[in-house]
Structure 1
Amino acid sequence: MDNHEYETLNGDDNFELNDLSEIKPNISKSKNETGTVFSSIITLSNTLLGSGMLAMPAAFASSGLYMGILNIAIFGGGALYGLWLLTRCATYTGRNSSFFSLSMITFPNASIFFDLAISIKCFGVSVSYLIIVGDLMPIVTIGLFPSVPMNSVLLTREFWITVSVLLIIPLAFMRKLDSMRHTSFISLLAILYLFFIVIYYYFIPFRTNEVQLRRDLSKDTVPELNPSYPVNPKVENFIFSMNFFKNLPIFVFAFTCHQNILSVYNEMKDNSQKNVNKVISSSIVFGMILYWVVGIYGYLTFGDQTESNVISMYPASSYIILFGQLSMVIMVMLSYPLQMFPCRLSLDKVFYNLKRILNFNNEGRSLINPTETSYMTANPSNHSEPMSDKKFFFMTLSILVCSYVLACSVKTLGIVLSIVGATGSTMICYILPGILYYKLETENNHMAHRKNNRTVYTALFMFIIGIVLMVVCLLSIFLFD
């Protein structure tokens, strides 16, 4: 497919969605579009890397060494293709692109479900970030301050989750995704440090010191302060069991950054397909390399005893580990707003659709009966008004409070990642890109001659694979837990 064939005239207010005959550079002169190729790669990579990286060794432990390596290649390639499909779809709506605007010109009746899936996924990731803080900070605290009493509030996960939410608030209220490019760079440095720790302590085994011995004595009172140790860890090359399907969504989850690709596309100064391809390919390849290294060396270190948060398994026997654990805390706190942005935007569209349907006005009726309005004559910009300050405030606050409550209630990171990966991640990575691209390509009058294009049917196949993956993984999680 020719990368230039779909370029749209984003700055022309009179441009029609099905008019693809005019091809002009997609360069914005607006002050609202500040993203460069480099800053966009940083933002997307930081969205990609996070709690999935901490859980990757556990995913290897459920699938085996060689199968884990293969899974990263397969799901990384699938994520890359899904990102490419979404950017191709984005050329139909220009810089107003969102899952909502695309669904309004394809499946208006289902748009509420599309955005609901995105909001669930992003909310689940936000919760996982807070769980990581609650897991690691008590370990860091006792490592830095061995004299802290075991019954101190400083060693409770709820205390540190509360502190992290308070620190996150200023970042969570930022309105532009590209505003996070500097904090995203800091987060990536923390990821690289984890990369170093996993390799270093594979070749140089850690030892128990007096701090760890003291933590072992507190096993019954403060169990989260006791990392697991590899006692004769067993490493297998291929594993086929129900745990394989239960943890398979972690691989999907690990490569899910699709919720932010349309925002990145909108905010890039030059969002030509050539530049967008650089962003998505660089981010995915970078993520694959890190996942391979962390997954392989983490699994080889802990074997079949690997837990869902690998960094919490390393004892605080040195400041190298302590700093790495603290870096992970900083990383997830800085990454939290990257999930807040699409979650808030998608929830806004969900409420918009609910209001339209309940009011039964003309626009609402068109959502219930999409045949009243042709998808190619629908104008998604009518539904893309900026969020009011009041709505922005209360929606952000609600997400913060709800994620805080859930993080304090759920203590297992792995189950959160598996459920989110099987539902929201599968929907965003495979189901939506595939069906949206297929619909736009096959029903555009100017593209009738392309209906037999291989890409169209590959997109449809991707949609089917996503449905099958979601059903199989959810059944494995809930029926064989």
Structure 2
Amino acid sequence: QGSLVFLVSGLAVLGYAAALSAQPTYQGVVRAVCGPAAGRLCELCFLVNLFMIAVALLRVVGDQLEKRELLGAEGEGSPWFVDQRFTLPALCALVIFPLSVPREIGFQKYSSILGTLAACYLTLVIVLKYHLAVGPLTRPSGGNVIPTICFGFQCHEACVAIYSSMRNQSFSHWVAISVLSMLICLLIYSLTGLYGYLTFGGDVAPDILMSYPGNDPVVIVARLLFGVSIVTIYPIVVLLGRSVVQDLCAYPKLRATLVSERHEWQSRVALTISWMAATLAIALFVPDIGKVIELIGGISAFFIFIFPGRHREGEGWEAAGPFWAVLITWGVVSVLGGTFVCGQSAALAVMGLLR
């Protein structure tokens, strides 16, 4: 709950900065508000983080496909068409790619409804499975949970694009949406994590659905819906990553020139295919999603704490009046806290990968 203060305040600052700078992307807001150097650093961190998130999402889908019961084939003699190396690329080509090609993020609001419902169903299954199970109560084990929290609540990368696509862009409306969204995520994540640990203790898998037997029809449905929720998230990550690549590759003068619709479409399709192919190739060989999440969570601290905490004096920010000192204090605390979280999480993740 304490992290929720930083999460919501970061969203509020980013929304306000987006309105102030009139930039449609996160990296554009940082470049306009914090300067070109910070903008370039943001683009590089943004690209690395989004790429790793995309790998993690595909890895989670791959974990669900590893359960042969999901596809009706069980045992070592399973046919080739249920192998993850076939099903995951097929899913990317037939389902994820068409959802990832559109130019604007507003298109994803319809598919995201399915993802939200799928997450609610997953939480309900985990809670009911715990209460209906017969066995001793287990205690959650401790650990470095901050990276996982950052990974789970990392909507900050997409928040500027979402704000730019809203019809009502008033600051109060944005804050209300941010608070409500974070509270819903807090409820879903807390119940899922709590009852998952109470059910399996320290033996719970990083992907909790992998801890349940694969022949349970309720769990099979949960896996299918969980896959749907991931499929709705991945295109958003592709869209954001594509915008960063376009910013990095385009010269400043070319950014202002007009390109034909055909050329823009060809460029968008080529970037989407390249992004999906690269992340898919890595996802097929990642053994442990838990270590990847730790590393991603550390990098996500940049976008949750550090960049929202930075500021540069300019037109519009002085309107805070007597609260200016409070905002500066919050910015210092946010940057220092984010630096600590980022450094600690990245170091622990790298040490874990080298073991």
TM-score (norm 2): 0.89
Contact 2:140 2:198 in 1 (8 A): no
- Equivalent residue, structure 2, for 1:414: 290
Matched, 1:276 2:174: yes
Go from structure 1 to structure 2 and tell me whether the alpha carbon gap of 1:114 and 1:383 turns closer, same or farther (over 3 Å shift): farther
Task: Quote the Cα distance in structure 1 between the aligned partners of 2:318 and 2:74.
Answer: 71
Q: How far did 1:304 drift?
A: 1.0
- Equivalent residue, structure 2, for 1:264: 162
Q: How far did 1:148 drift?
A: 6.4
Question: Secondary structure of 2:114's partner?
Answer: helix
The aligned length equals 349
Task: Quote the Cα distance in structure 2 between the aligned partners of 1:457 and 1:384.
Answer: 42
The structure with the largest helix share of the pair is 2
Contact 2:54 2:279 in 1 (8 A): yes
Opposite residue 334 of structure 1, the aligned amino acid is T
- Equivalent residue, structure 2, for 1:431: 306
**C-alpha RMSD over aligned residues:** 2.7
- Equivalent residue, structure 2, for 1:109: 37
Go from structure 1 to structure 2 and tell me whether the alpha carbon gap of 1:200 and 1:105 turns closer, same or farther (over 3 Å shift): closer
Opposite residue 402 of structure 1, the aligned amino acid is A
Percent of aligned pairs with the same residue? 18
Opposite residue 447 of structure 1, the aligned amino acid is E
Opposite residue 187 of structure 1, the aligned amino acid is G
- Equivalent residue, structure 2, for 1:395: 271
Go from structure 1 to structure 2 and tell me whether the alpha carbon gap of 1:146 and 1:296 turns closer, same or farther (over 3 Å shift): same
Task: Quote the Cα distance in structure 2 between the aligned partners of 1:339 and 1:142.
Answer: 29
Task: Quote the Cα distance in structure 1 between the aligned partners of 2:199 and 2:214.
Answer: 16
Go from structure 1 to structure 2 and tell me whether the alpha carbon gap of 1:477 and 1:269 turns closer, same or farther (over 3 Å shift): same
Counterpart pick for 1:464 among 336, 341, 355:
336
Opposite residue 121 of structure 1, the aligned amino acid is N
Contact 1:164 1:333 in 2 (8 A): no
After superposition, residues 11-160 of structure 1 pair within 5 angstroms as: 73-94=1-22, 96=24, 98-139=26-67, 141-143=68-70, 145-146=72-73, 150-160=77-87
Show CA shifts across 1:183-233 (max 9, x none): 110111111110111011101228xxxxxxxxxxxxxxxxxxxxxxx9x78
Contact 1:95 1:265 in 2 (8 A): no
Contact 1:235 1:300 in 2 (8 A): yes
Task: Quote the Cα distance in structure 2 between the aligned partners of 1:188 and 1:329.
Answer: 12
Task: Quote the Cα distance in structure 2 between the aligned partners of 1:134 and 1:256.
Answer: 22
- Equivalent residue, structure 1, for 2:91: 164
Question: Secondary structure of 1:478's partner?
Answer: helix
- Equivalent residue, structure 1, for 2:187: 289
User: Whose radius of gyration is greater, 1 or 2?
Assistant: 1
After superposition, residues 310-349 of structure 1 pair within 5 angstroms as: 310-349=208-247
Q: How far did 1:383 drift?
A: 9.1
Opposite residue 294 of structure 1, the aligned amino acid is T
Go from structure 1 to structure 2 and tell me whether the alpha carbon gap of 1:200 and 1:474 turns closer, same or farther (over 3 Å shift): same
Opposite residue 471 of structure 1, the aligned amino acid is G
Show CA shifts across 1:77-112 (max 9, x none): 221111011112112223645422441443212322
Q: How far did 1:411 drift?
A: 2.4
Opposite residue 224 of structure 2, the aligned amino acid is L
Structure 2: stretches of 5+ with no match in the other structure: none
- Equivalent residue, structure 1, for 2:347: 475
Structure 1: stretches of 5+ with no match in the other structure: 1-72, 207-229, 357-362, 365-380
Matched, 1:305 2:232: no
Matched, 1:447 2:351: no
Q: How far did 1:427 drift?
A: 0.8
Go from structure 1 to structure 2 and tell me whether the alpha carbon gap of 1:204 and 1:429 turns closer, same or farther (over 3 Å shift): same
Opposite residue 80 of structure 2, the aligned amino acid is V
- Equivalent residue, structure 2, for 1:199: 127
Opposite residue 176 of structure 1, the aligned amino acid is E
Task: Quote the Cα distance in structure 1 between the aligned partners of 2:331 and 2:109.
Answer: 31
Task: Quote the Cα distance in structure 2 between the aligned partners of 1:300 and 1:383.
Answer: 57
Contact 1:233 1:305 in 2 (8 A): no
Task: Quote the Cα distance in structure 1 between the aligned partners of 2:317 and 2:155.
Answer: 31
Show CA shifts across 1:281-311 (max 9, x none): 1110100011111111010000011110001
Contact 2:17 2:33 in 1 (8 A): no
